[in-house]
Structure 1
Amino acid sequence: MTSFLIQHFDTLKRLVLSDGGFKNISPSDCKALSLLIFKKTNQQISETTLKRVYGFAYSKFKPSLFTLDAMAKFCDYGGWTDFCEHNTSSKTKNHEIKDVSWHNIKHNADKITSFTLQALKNRSGIPYNQTIKRKFIDDHFDAFLKDDYTATLITAPAGYGKTLALCHWVEEHMAMNLLGLNDDIVLFFSSNALINVFISGKDINEWLLSLLGYGCEDDFSTLLDIKQKHKGNFYLIIDGLDEHMFKSEQFHLLFNQILDVFSFYQFHDSFKLVLTMRSSTWINHRHEIEDFKNRWFQGYMIGDDQAINAPLFNLQEIKELCTNINPSIQNFLGIEVADNFNHPLYFQFYYRQHKDDFTLNNVDHVCIYELISTFILNKIYLGAHSAEKMLLVKALVGKMDFATARYDVDKLKMNDLIRQYPQAYNDLLGIGFIREVNKSNDVQYNTLIQFANDNFLDYSIANTLLSNNQNIFNSQLIAIINESFKNERKVPILKWCIIYTIKTGQQESFELLAETRLSAREKAEIIIFLGDMLEKACVSLAKSEAMIQYFRQDCSDGLFDYFFGLEFINADYIKALQTLLRFELSNKKKILIYTSLAAIAVMQLDMNKLESYIVNLKNFPAEDLQSMALNPLHCLETAFYFLKYGIVKKEAFAELTSFYFNPPKSENGFEKTNTNDILYLLAIHTLSICKNPVKLLRFTRALNKIYKNDPEHLQGYRFLLQLITTDAHLQANKTTEGLSNYADTLILYEANKDSYTPFMKASFYLLKVKMCLYQNNSADLQQTMKSLVSLADQSGFKLIKVQALVFILSNKELLNINPDYYKQIYYDFIKLVRESGFREESFITNEVALAIK
């Protein structure tokens, strides 16, 4: 019997369609074709068999001889053997007269490459013409081609944009071919096509030759030898060579055959092999090229496991992509937005949701979580085997060791479930939700299962914890999170719990967030996120009746107090406070919000907003303002009139003097709340206007006797108070106390700086600038000032920046030591104050200004 040859079978399939009168064939045509074959040959080929023949249904076997004979007879041959003999002799004749030329190879390869390109373009989540070229791919190929390498790979997790980057490179390369700028052959196909290798029964070398129109008697060596007359390379490019696409034994066979092709042709200068694969596939199989490492270019690997050489988007690429999608938008991208959208997969999800009004300018902290939720809904919850997938995910989380932060799981521990639900497991691998990493060595088998990225890990942990807690957000759940997570996992897990809590109508439980043990930086992140979530829930057109009623009541005292703290000041914090105004708040709570917003306006030197908030406060009844621990309106008016007009109003100073001589007896004044923190720190900053450090120290001593003078409150309020009192001691010439306090503060800062908010860090830098001047340490001064300015500019802490500049300007000795630096400081000061609309004289004396000029 004549052997089965894929090129003969492909020819026969085309001939059957032609004789049957079909230009193209669809699944519905297979029934009609079956009837035509039966009428002519009296042999029945079922509709299902024809669907397998023409690729509409999967088949792991070659077609039977009966099927082949019936198809051949339909085309007027005696049978399959007769058809093969006729076509073999014809092929031989054609081969004798056909010149095996570089041009012929290129022509055949171009057809395959063009088809592959079009198929991959059509699958792009963002219209291909709006996608961008990636610089890394050009850098990668430049390095690959300039040295004596035969093969290379592009490796990264799913969703890093490997395929589209490669498509742009191939498309550009083929365009250069057409222009005569190179003479290369590019044979490019997706790993989906490699399934045909197993169907054909050939090895990949024979199969590739048949794709190019040559028989098994040829090999690439013959073709590549033609290169003596040409200057081009032969590129064999296989995209998406990944384990999850094949059965395990199939992948190993295929990968070994590809390595055989590489081994055979590695010393042909013109042969270049290019593969793309996921990091997990590369990690599991990179040991197989160990003997050929000097011939493989592995690119510029990043990451500890050295398995990624395709980087995420950089800021410039994000801007370029945004402009391609919507040329009319102005891109003002912050660092956090860039961090969220540097992942091509997430960018693609966002595009799908907003393609009609695309812009990143309105992105908030919630957006990335919504994108992950959409991905999980579509790929896991709504897909096939959804229940089995969730069982696997929860089992995987259940076998993690949270205490040691071990988030990968030995595959052997999951093997029973994997064998029970193999299709669900392969689906999770296929969509890139999980990955396998083989770290076996010569003494131990060690294959680990990991979630593909931190977002998927955090979501899965939060979902499992909620499920184990009957999907209730309560003190028990918070206690578990507090106990289990003392690292960077805690905040994102809490965020997922907050999302679930809002979507399931459990928002009344948010006051329990006070029970979470978080650093100041972590709490600031949660507050801003919660504010964004509540704002979205409030303005949503599809908000539930429960959410409508939630905002129609007063905000609970616990949740309201959770939002407050001077240490949280930044632009996003303003939005969080304004979200609270959507509740039906009491006058006291509204006063506290406007007070905090006004305090932020002072820190940002925003005169217009400060004046507006003062007007809002004046609209409240006097008795409501007087009921506060301290009247915030007096303090804010004092700051406004001094900064704007140079007028020192006495009301606030009189009240604060009375406070430290006769502390209030009202229990409200002593209550240890975050809202009272704001009022007392506002009072201390107001006292600094009178430039009398003794008064300030008296006030803080009186305050410490009655309010939060314990180690529990070293974060936030106590830390900021310690900075202020240290400065006051130095200004009052109480050198011993000042230096001692600074030494304690420095130790505290160095031990906890990673947990501090930007405002806390900027406030510390301000004290350090003053200490550098006090100790005549000009070397540290400029470096500290550089850190302060960078942080202040980034977060809008203009008052802190001005205070640092003024303190330097007040040190006239620096004018003699470094006059250029001193004058630059003065010009920066003038620019900042004038742009803010305040008086220069409110900060420096005429004597200082004249000395500089």
Structure 2
Amino acid sequence: MKIFLQPHIQELKDKVLEIARIENIISADCYKLSVEISAKTHKTISQTTIKRVYGFAHARYAPSTFTLNALSQYCGYEGWSDFIQQMEAKQEKAKEHVAWNEIAQAAHNITRFTIQTNKHKSGLSYLYTIERQSINDHIDRFLKTGSTGCIISAPSGMGKTIGITHWVDKQMTANHSANNNHIILHVNSSSLFFAAGFGFHSNKWLTHLLNFPQQQHFEDFIEEYRKSAPGNFYLIIDDFNNNLINNRLFDIVFRQLIDMVAYLSNYPWMKVIITLRPSTWQKYGHLIENHLETNKLWYTNFSGARRVNAINLNPFSNQEIQQLVDKINDASREEVVYTRKYFPVIATPLHFQYYYQLKGNAIRTDQLNPADEYAIASVYLNKNILKGALAAEKQVMLTQFAKLLHFSEEEAFVNKKDAYDIIKENHSIYSELLHAGIVYEYQREQGTRAAYQIKFKSLVLAAYYIAQEAIEENSGDIDEALMVWMQKSDYPDHVKLAILKWLILFSLEIGDLSIFNEIEKIDFIEPHQASLILFTCSNLDYVIHADPSIAAPLNDAFAASAFIDIALDHVLLEIEYHLALKKLQYYKLSYRQQILLHTSLAFFELLYLQDDEASKHIEILQSIPREHFAEFSLNPLVIIESIHHYYRHNSLKGDTLQEIKLFCTYPERNTNLTHKQLIYVLAYIALNLEGNPEMSITYLNAVNDYVLNLNQNITADFKACLHFALADRYAHAKKIEQAKQEQQLAVKINSTHTLNRIQAGLLDMEMLRHENQDFLTHARQLILITKQYNLKYYEAFVRVYLIKTLNPDDYQHLIEEHRMAVSSLFGNSGYKLESFYNLFKATFISSSTVN
């Protein structure tokens, strides 16, 4: 079948106007043309068809063969084929030899147009985008192999188009600056698919793109440079994906492309680079992989089984993320180690683009938090699913998929066989979902067997549809019944957590915060408390930013909800928890809540060795009327003041010991008072400053007897904290068996939270030291943990422990290293270094364990 090439169609249109003696065609001329053509050719061409040909009416497809034959006959040719032959014959006479630079000019005109188009389509201003090192390295390795074809494969949203555009742009610049003489032809696959739709072979498509009159001229051109050429010829085809056209046609085009690469492999300077999605390679990669000689011509660099792991473009590295952010916002930033665990949330270029849309030029990496992933997912859903054509149909299909989901680690997938009827019923909607990238097809091979899966882009997106369906089945309510359903469901805990986060977000959006009355009853959130609290606070900011009109009522509802009390009753040292507490300062809190909040924040600042900040929170506590402190079983102000005073002045205040003795001696007074876990931990820390393990054990047993037996919601981290503390005190009192028993109980309850991990590490060091075993490895691990969370107090604690316990004869250099580190920690802290050394002196003398 002949190909309907756009240049020839334009030539025919111009010839028709010449015959009809129309210089500048207008819409009204189309009727005249229709009549004249029908009269001359005896073929009926409607006025509407003529309007489509000349652009006065929308034309979804190129002109039909019938129309082109009629127009050609009107101009005196036998038909469309005759017209093409005569046009090409004229071009052949006029242009028998084509120079390298002429072809370069033709190719570069197309490439410049493609580059500009890609720049304009970039979701993030192209000026803010960066070169992709992963693409540069991949192509560099390809060029060293001698292969002709190169595959760049990555899922939707991974930045293939902008990444390859940067590479092409760089090559175009190098052609001038480095005097290279490469031909670079960069096109989108749509032009190839358009031509293929009319039966045009890929070789012919390439020939006409480069303005060769006939394919033979192109073949003569490359044959002229068989042994050597002035430079390389790069053909870059972007977005070569099977979901853009029907499978039968794509199969034909792919096979033609394989044949083209096989032919061009005879010319070592010819290089073909193709970008596609992994699902395309999984479907059609066997056409290359199953043929040894063909496979040698292609460079893929896939890891493992090729079609199973058909990805060779990595997400943004941490360095690339920081480079991007610095291009947008070059303001100074803090180096916050904890935020790096959220870098994967914006490591996908599309997700980074959406994050930029949320934050604007104020974007910073040191402000990443757990809410960002869901905010980005919300933007993604709004842009690709919830709005636009066929939105309802897409949501219905995704909800149907959600009922068939299976889970493996961080992936959610549907067996395609189970979803066959759903897809068959409306395949066009399924194609839309594939094109949007919210789902993709995956082929898992096991020997001669293969399983076909439909994977969601992320677990978070899958959880959205599970949550939506659950709410609908619960009559649209987010209430206790829904929480019970989630708790009892068979979903893995990490999936339940994702569902819960969506339910929290939905609750904030509608202003109904009754969900927080039920959260304490959910057991699977225990390891995620800190991030879940920060997630909630940060999402409140997003919701208010999206609709400022709801700010006042939502803030009031939030402050009055059960969430505040839940958030304040934890013993967490995670940075996420500290950030969440700082956000709570801006809400209308009761005096009791303010006392707990500022006690917690003062404790955090003490752990960070930030005396100025700790003092600010203690001053706020001091401004609260004294009668409100009487609500507590232990006075928070007395305790935090005492700890603060000790490290500032290297001396104790006596009122703390009296407060604790009163608590231990008269337990009946505690029954109707407020019991808060953090305050009990602070009292234990204050008591340790006395260096009396027996008194500490008495206090811890009192807490265990009178607090855990009350009708209180006690968290696992606090229970573990008590047992670790008892184990530590028993160890220092040389009651090793009792220490081991308490240690085992603590580990069984919880050893995942930061405070518990530090307690466990300190206890392990002490136990190993008692047994004359090496404890330095534990010490190094503990120092790493404390640095990760900026807990300078505990870092100093570990280092001073080593200074006091290591033998100077064997470890003089190491001891000196730790002395310098401790001095550095206390340098601008406002606290006295002697307070730490004296604390250890009292501790080791009382336990009689000084080396």
Same fold, TM-score > 0.5, yes or no: yes
Paired letter, 1:544: I
Structure 2 counterparts to residues 73-222 of structure 1, below 5 A: 73=74, 80=80, 83-84=83-84, 86-95=86-95, 98-179=96-177, 181-218=179-216, 222=220
The equivalences for 1:729-808 within 5 A come to 729-742=730-743, 745=746, 748=748, 756-778=752-774, 780-781=775-776, 783-808=777-802
For residues 173-230 of structure 1, the C-alpha deviation after alignment (integer angstroms, 9 at most, x for no partner) is: 1222234643322222111112322344221122222222335552765433322242
Aligned-partner Cα distance in 2 for 1:798–1:19: 88
Per-residue CA distance 1:48-87 (angstroms, 9 max, x = gap): 555367698565565233444336746x878646644542
Tell me if the contact between 2:237 and 2:275 (Cα under 8 Å) persists in the aligned partners: yes
Q: Aligned partner of 2:211: which letter?
A: G
1:564 matched to 2:565: no
Task: Give the structure 2 partner of residue 459 of structure 1.
Answer: 464
The alpha carbon displacement at 1:583 in A equals 4.8
Q: What is aligned with 2:30?
A: 34
Q: Is the 8 A contact 1:153 1:274 kept in 2?
A: yes
8 Å contact 1:635–1:652 — kept in the other structure?
yes
Task: Indicate the residue corresponding to 2:831 in structure 1.
Answer: 838
In the alignment, the residues of structure 2 paired with residue 129 and residue 846 of structure 1 have an alpha-carbon distance, to the nearest angstrom, of 56
The 1-side partners of 2:4 and 2:545 are apart by 66
- Aligned residue pairs total 828
RMSD after superposition? 3.5
- The one-character-per-residue Cα deviations of 1:403-430 (angstroms, maximum 9, x if unpaired) are 9998321223323332332222211111
TM-score, normalised on structure 2?
Answer: 0.89
| Equivalent residue number for residue 399 of structure 1 | 404
Q: How does 1:126-525 map to 2 (within 5 A)?
A: 126-179=124-177, 181-218=179-216, 222-227=220-225, 228-290=227-289, 291=291, 292-299=294-301, 301=303, 305-327=308-330, 334-355=339-360, 359=364, 362-401=367-406, 407-439=412-444, 446-482=451-487, 483-525=489-531
Cα–Cα, structure 1 residues 838 and 81, in superposed 2: closer, same or farther, change >3 Å?
closer
The CA distance in 2 between the partners of 1:236 and 1:409, in whole Å, is 37
Deviates more, 1:239-248 or 1:416-425: 416-425
SS in 2 for 1:835: coil
Further displaced range: 836-845 or 655-664: 655-664
- C-alpha contact 1:329 1:359 (8 A) present in aligned 2: no
**CA–CA distance in structure 1, aligned partners of residues 17 and 837 of structure 2:** 91
CA contact (8 A) 2:282 2:442 kept: yes
**Contact 2:4–2:198 (CA under 8 A) maintained in structure 1:** yes
Asked whether the 8 Å contact 1:160–1:343 carries over to 2, the reply is: yes
Q: Identify the range of structure 1 (128-137 vs 513-522) with the bigger mean alpha-carbon deviation.
A: 513-522
Q: Structure 1 residue 432: deviation in Å?
A: 0.7
Relative distance call for 1:638 and 1:52 in structure 2 (3 A) is farther
Q: What is the DSSP-based 3-state SS (H/G/I as helix, E as strand, rest coil) of the residue aligned with 2:831?
A: coil
The answer (yes or no) to whether the contact 2:531–2:576 under 8 Å persists in 1 is no
- How far residue 727 of structure 1 moved from its aligned partner, in angstroms, is 1.5
Query: Which residue does 2:9 correspond to in 1?
Result: 9
* Equivalent-residue separation in structure 2 for 1:335 and 1:495 (angstroms): 21
Q: Is the 8 A contact 1:155 1:307 kept in 2?
A: yes
SS in structure 2 at match of 1:668:
coil
Query: Deviations for 1:591-627, whole angstroms, at most 9, x for unmatched residues?
Result: 2222222222332222223222222222333332122
Is residue 605–residue 836 contact of structure 1 (8 Å, CA) maintained in 2?
Answer: yes
CA distance in 2, matches of 1:20, 1:457: 61
- On the 8 A contact 2:513/2:558 being kept in 1, the answer is no
One-letter amino acid of the counterpart of residue 807, structure 1: Y
Q: Which amino acid aligns with 2:311?
A: I
Check if 1:689 corresponds to 2:724: no
* TM-aligned CA distance change 1:765 to 1:677, over 3 Å: same
Moved more, 758-767 or 501-510: 758-767
Contact kept, 8 Å, 1:221 with 1:265, in 2: the verdict is no
Whole-Å separation in 2 of the counterparts to 1:577 and 1:809? 34
Alignment deviations for residues 355-396 of structure 1 (CA, whole Å, 9 cap, x no partner)? 465555555432332222122112212111111101100000
Q: CA separation in 1, counterparts of 2:544 and 2:86?
A: 75
Gaps of at least 5 residues in structure 2 are: 40-44, 842-851
Q: Quick one: structure 1 residues 661 and 5, their matched pair in 2 at CA, closer, same or farther if it must change by over 3 Å?
A: closer
Measured after TM superposition, the shift of residue 833 of structure 1 is: 1.9
Q: Call closer, same or farther: CA 1:331–1:526 in 2, change over 3 Å.
A: closer
1:684-714, Cα deviation, whole Å (9 max, x unpaired): 1110010111100111122222232799968
Amino acid at match of 2:665: F
Partners of 1:331 and 1:641 lie apart in 2 by 29
Alignment match, 2:71: 70
Look up the match of 1:820.
813
Post-superposition Cα deviations, 1:503-550, rounded to whole Å, max 9, x if no partner, equal 1222133221112222533122211111223355567762438x6166
Deviations 1:276-335 (A, max 9, x none): 111221222222211133332113649994222111112221222223334566585731
How far apart are the structure 1 equivalents of 2:606 and 2:85? Answer: 92
Q: Distance in 1 between matches of 2:477 and 2:576?
A: 29
Secondary structure of the 2:696 match is: helix
Letter matched to residue 814 of structure 2: Y
Distance 2:209 2:286 in 1: 30
Asked if structure 1 preserves the Cα contact closer than 8 Å seen for 2:411 and 2:455, the reply is no
Q: Which moved more, 1:769-778 or 1:652-661?
A: 769-778
SS at match of 2:442: strand
Structure 2 distance, partners of 1:455, 1:21, is 64
SS of equivalent to 2:237: strand
1:15-42 CA deviation, whole Å, 9 max, x = no partner? 668999999x9xxx87356357458757
For normalisation by structure 1, the TM-score amounts to 0.88
Query: Could you say if the C-alpha distance between residues 709 and 11 of structure 1 is closer, same or farther in structure 2, counting changes exceeding 3 Å?
Result: farther
Deviation at 1:141, TM superposition (A): 1.1
Q: Aligned partners of 2:21, 2:622: CA distance in 1, in Å?
A: 87
Q: Which residue of 2 aligns with 1:533?
A: 539
TM-aligned CA distance change 1:488 to 1:508, over 3 Å: closer
Task: Tell me: CA distance 1:367–1:16, structure 2 relative to 1, closer, same or farther (3 Å).
Answer: farther
Structure 1: segments with no counterpart, 5+ residues: 849-853
Aligned 8 A contact 1:319 1:331 in 2: no
Deviations 1:646-667 (A, max 9, x none): 2211111012123223323442
SS of the residue corresponding to residue 276 of structure 1 reads strand
What is the CA distance between 1:585 and its match in structure 2?
Answer: 3.5
Q: Once the two structures are aligned, what percentage of the paired residues are identical? A: 24
Farther off after superposition, 63-72 or 180-189:
63-72
1:733–1:79 Cα change, 3 Å? closer
Deviation at 1:770?
3.2
SS at match of 1:438: strand
CA contact (8 A) 1:323 1:329 kept: no
Q: Which runs of structure 2 are paired with 1:666-681 in the superposition (5 Å)?
A: 666-669=670-673, 676-681=676-681
CA contact (8 A) 1:302 1:309 kept: no
Cα shift at 1:722: 1.9
Secondary structure, aligned partner of 1:533: helix
**What letter corresponds to residue 512 of structure 1 in structure 2?**
E
Code of the aligned partner of 1:787: Q
Shift of 1:258: 1.2
Question: What is the CA–CA distance in structure 1 between the aligned matches of 2:352 and 2:56, rounded to whole Å?
Answer: 33
For the residue of structure 1 that corresponds to 2:184, the secondary structure is strand
What displacement does 1:433 show?
0.9
- Tell me: CA distance 1:202–1:275, structure 2 relative to 1, closer, same or farther (3 Å): same
Go from structure 1 to structure 2 and tell me whether the alpha carbon gap of 1:404 and 1:172 turns closer, same or farther (over 3 Å shift): closer
User: How far apart, CA to CA, are the structure 1 residues paired with 2:99 and 2:445?
Assistant: 47
